[in-house]
Amino acid sequence: MELYSGKLGKLIEELSTLPGIGTKSAGRLAFYLLHEPEEHVKRLTTAILDARANIRYCRKCFNLTDEEICPVCADPKRNQRTVMVVENSRDLAAYEKTGKYEGVYHVLHGAISPMLGIGPGDIRLKELMERLAETEVDEVIIATNSSLEGETTAMYLSRLIKPTGIRVSRIASGVPVGGDLENIDEVTLVRALDGRKEL
């Protein structure tokens, strides 16, 4: 027996396809939307359709934007000679929230993963190398994740960029704030030890 009518069931089914949204959360969202004023639901729908139609990749860094150049690349105060390479736009947003990084970015939109059939040609590596050849860059900071794919991508990038004479660095990784040492893997502990600083 169907628990919900066809249209409500379809709404829940579609909402449950969103990342991190299971059937229960999709049901809560569906009931929330059905009880909201129609004008609010129209604004939400319009915002989704407008974003889908108008958001594209920045011509320089491949961040998501609705302009030809994203706000970071367009900011004259940013250090254009330091490029941080990240896997996706969410990683870029995380660094921007810190307010500490003053350079620009390059978004790969993925990481090399031979197991998943994702090779160097499937992410924005070619565009990065073209960018480095066309502009004066002093340093490339590799800020890929500490996963196997992120590490593979970092090593590949390092081998590509070092022959150009550009300084290549890797973000430090180590013990998270509030983490218990006994619950942390060996690779993270070694990185934390290697990346230690004098107090």
28: helix, strand or coil: helix
In terms of domains, do 18 and 82 share one? no
Residue 50 lies in a domain: no
Tokens of 148: 């196997």
Q: What is the pLDDT of residue 184?
A: 66
Q: Is residue 169 part of a domain?
A: yes
> From CA 131, how far away is CA 152, in angstroms rounded?
21
Q: What is the rounded CA–CA span in Å between residue 73 and residue 59?
A: 9
Same domain? 167 vs 110? yes
Residue 115 is part of a domain; what is its CATH number?
3.40.1360.10
What pLDDT, on a 0 to 100 scale, did the predictor assign at position 53?
94
Residue whose pair of structure tokens reads 């250090």 in the numeric block? 79
What is the Cα–Cα distance from 19 to 22, expressed in whole angstroms? 8
The pTM for the full model equals: 0.80
Whether 10 maps to a domain, the answer reads yes
Task: Give residue 145's pLDDT.
Answer: 87
**How many independent structural domains does the chain possess?**
2
Is 150 within a domain?
Answer: yes
Cα within 13 Å of Cα(191), Cβ side: 14
For 129-145, write each residue's pLDDT tens digit.
Answer: 999 999 999 999 999 98
**DSSP character at residue 96:** H
The parts of the chain modelled with pLDDT lower than 50 are 1, 199
Query: What backbone torsions phi and psi does residue 118 show, to the nearest 5 degrees?
Result: -100, 115
Say what the pLDDT of residue 173 is: 74
86 & 164 share domain: yes
**Structural domain for 166, as ranges:** 78-173
